[in-house]
Amino acid sequence: MGQSSNDVIPTAIHVSAALAVRRELVPALEHLRDVIAAKETEVAGIIKTGRTHLMDAMPVSLSQELSGWRTQIENDVARLKSVEPRLLALAQGGTAVGTGINAHPEFGARFCKELAGLTGVPFVPARNYFEALSTQDTAVELSGQLKVLAVSLMKIANDLRWMNSGPLAGLAEIALPALQPGSSIMPGKVNPVIAEAVAMVAAQVIGNDTTITVAGQSGNFQLLVMLPVIAENLLESIRLLRNGARALADSAIAGFQVNKARLAEALDRNPILVTALNPVIGYEKGAAIAKKAYAEGRPIREVAAQMTNLSSAQLEKLLDPAELTTGGIKGGGGGGG
């Protein structure tokens, strides 16, 4: 009396997902956010070559780069929390088809009150039981937010892999913690295994989202029949992302070391620094200086001193990498990007 598998199972999906997100995933993401923030402070003042299209671009500080990662995670937490008003609404009380047949009219509300007391989570009856039984739109929505989080983690993981690449023929901007002996055939080779594991986690979650999306279309009239596969994939995604976020925080970001000499060397030879001279000497002259500096392997400051009337003091001020990370128009004038 008072229940059907048709309202119990949708309820169980919402309850289990809500508890897993609140108690496991969000705390893991907040931990990752805090680890990134601590690393931002640790690397304050370190300037590096920015990259667009994987090509040298204007300088950024390492802290600015990490702040982008941190903001991704902060936005991901906000997205997960935005789903809660619908995730905490339960199907219990709709019984077989949403009419509440064989259930006391107050059963759904009393059930949610009792469950809220047991869990500390403010569950409420669904606004419409017919929707709650015949769809899993909220599970699809939550899965979509988990997919966004997976995309964020893959982006961060791949940035780490690129920055760690080398140690001689890659970027070698950082050294990730060595967690394994290395290659099975090449002694001394240290692979970015945590970043690669997180990228695989992200790939799995993106695949799970596709499965949940297809399953979410399978509500026919008063019942959605693919509940088991939705439950399995949704909870797996939450578990994988929880573990991946903590591994990325504790075994990759917290312990990476910065190769300051390599960053400084690349920055000094970056021909794109000439962009800062555009308001003073114009785009065409800047392009000519950049091409010459790159072709001859010489610092921009040295070539610009030969090809312009700017003094050493002016060039030092205009091409100061730290100053260039603050934005704005340098040297007066105007222009576009």
Q: Which residue has the higher pLDDT, 334 or 96?
A: 96
Domains located in the chain, CATH noted: 5-262 (1.20.200.10), 269-324 (1.10.40.30)
Q: Is pLDDT above 80 for 240?
A: yes
Across the chain, where does the E strand assignment appear?
Answer: 47-52, 55-61, 89-90, 124-125, 174-175, 219-220, 223-224, 257-258
Q: What is the pLDDT of residues 207-236, one digit of tens each?
A: 999 999 999 999 999 999 999 999 999 999
Q: Is pLDDT above 50 for 126?
A: yes
pLDDT number for residue 247? 98
What angle separates helix 5-20 from helix 137-164, to the nearest 10 degrees? 30
Q: Where does residue 294 rank: exposed (0-12), middle (13-18), buried (19+ CB within 10 A)?
A: middle
53 φ/ψ sector (left φ>0, alpha ψ -120 to 50, else beta): left
Which of 146, 148, 154 is closest to 17 using CA atoms? Answer: 146
pLDDT number for residue 184? 83
Q: Is pLDDT above 50 for 337?
A: no
Backbone angles phi, psi at 90, to 5 degrees: -110, 150
Give exposure, 48-70, as e/b (b: 16+ Cβ within 10 Å).
Answer: bbbbeeeebebbbbbbebbeebb
Q: Is pLDDT above 70 for 336?
A: no
Region 307-322: what's the mean pLDDT? 94
pLDDT number for residue 1? 85
pLDDT number for residue 334? 43
Q: Which residues are known catalytic residues? A: 53, 183
| DSSP secondary structure, 24-81, as one string | IIHHHHHHHHHHHHHHHHHTTT-EEEEEETTEEEEEEEHHHHHHHHHHHHHHHHHHHH
Q: What is the mean pLDDT of the chain?
A: 95
pLDDT number for residue 332? 55
pLDDT number for residue 31? 99
pLDDT number for residue 335? 42
Q: What is the pLDDT of residues 69-104, one digit of tens each?
A: 999 999 999 999 999 999 999 999 999 999 999 999
Distance of alpha carbon 113 from alpha carbon 275, whole angstroms: 62
Region 108-134: what's the mean pLDDT? 98
pLDDT number for residue 182? 76
CB 33 within 8 A of CB 72: no
Q: What is the pLDDT of residues 265-300, one digit of tens each?
A: 999 889 999 999 999 999 999 999 999 999 999 999
Q: Which residue has the higher pLDDT, 180 or 176?
A: 176
